[in-house]
Amino acid sequence: MSNLVNVPKNGSLANTNSNTNFPTLSTWLDDFFNRDFPSVFNSNFNTGITLPKVNIKETAEAYIVEMAVPGLKKSDFRIDLDNEVLAISTEIKDESEGKDENYTRREFGYSSFKRTFNLPESVNDEKINASYQEGILSILLPKKEEAKQKPARSIKIS
């Protein structure tokens, strides 16, 4: 939080905040929430999946969506199409159980993401195709025949 500063005619700076020794509630909250917490506090809340990066490229025939999601299986993904909105999501539950002398320890984690994309009207939604190979989810969005780019041609002048 910034302090207001008056500049008197003699050129010296004077702090006009009379509560410099007593932080206000808002400055205390700002300081608290802007701090970096030690890894002890956040290590149990992040299971390693963040929002995956996506590349989208357009060719004359189709749009190609590539999503980098290493370490997952093809069966982990769900791809839905609803009213020209493509949704890609995954939900992973990780449970492990360790037994030692007098106690049982159970640890589990949960992670998920969902990315949605508005498809252009030029996409032929009947022929959408997806594949997953070497950590890359690829979705082919073919264009409708009338939307495909036609090759350049010369027009004869009559």
In the sheet that 129-133 helps form, which strands lie side by side, from edge to edge?
A: 54-58, 62-68, 136-142, 129-133
Q: Are residues 103 and 56 in the same domain?
A: yes
Question: What is the distance, to the nearest Å, from the Cα of residue 82 to the centroid of all Cα atoms in its chain?
Answer: 20
Q: Are residues 128 and 62 in the same domain?
A: yes
Is residue 154 one of the residues assigned to a domain? no
Q: Are residues 66 and 138 in the same domain?
A: yes
Distance CA 116, CA 65 (A): 12
Q: How confident is the model over 116-140, as pLDDT tens digits?
A: 999 999 999 999 999 999 999 999 9
Q: Are residues 16 and 74 in the same domain?
A: no
Q: What is the pTM of this model?
A: 0.58
Percent residues over pLDDT 70 in the chain: 59
Question: What is the distance, to the nearest Å, from the Cα of residue 108 to the centroid of all Cα atoms in its chain?
Answer: 23
What is the span of the domain harbouring residue 57? 48-147
Q: Are residues 77 and 22 in the same domain?
A: no
Q: How confident is the model over 32-81, as pLDDT tens digits?
A: 555 554 444 444 444 455 788 999 999 989 999 999 998 888 999 999 99
Q: Are residues 86 and 107 in the same domain?
A: yes
- Structurally, the chain folds into a number of domains equal to 2
Residue 7 reports pLDDT greater than 50: no
Mean pLDDT along residues 82-102:
77
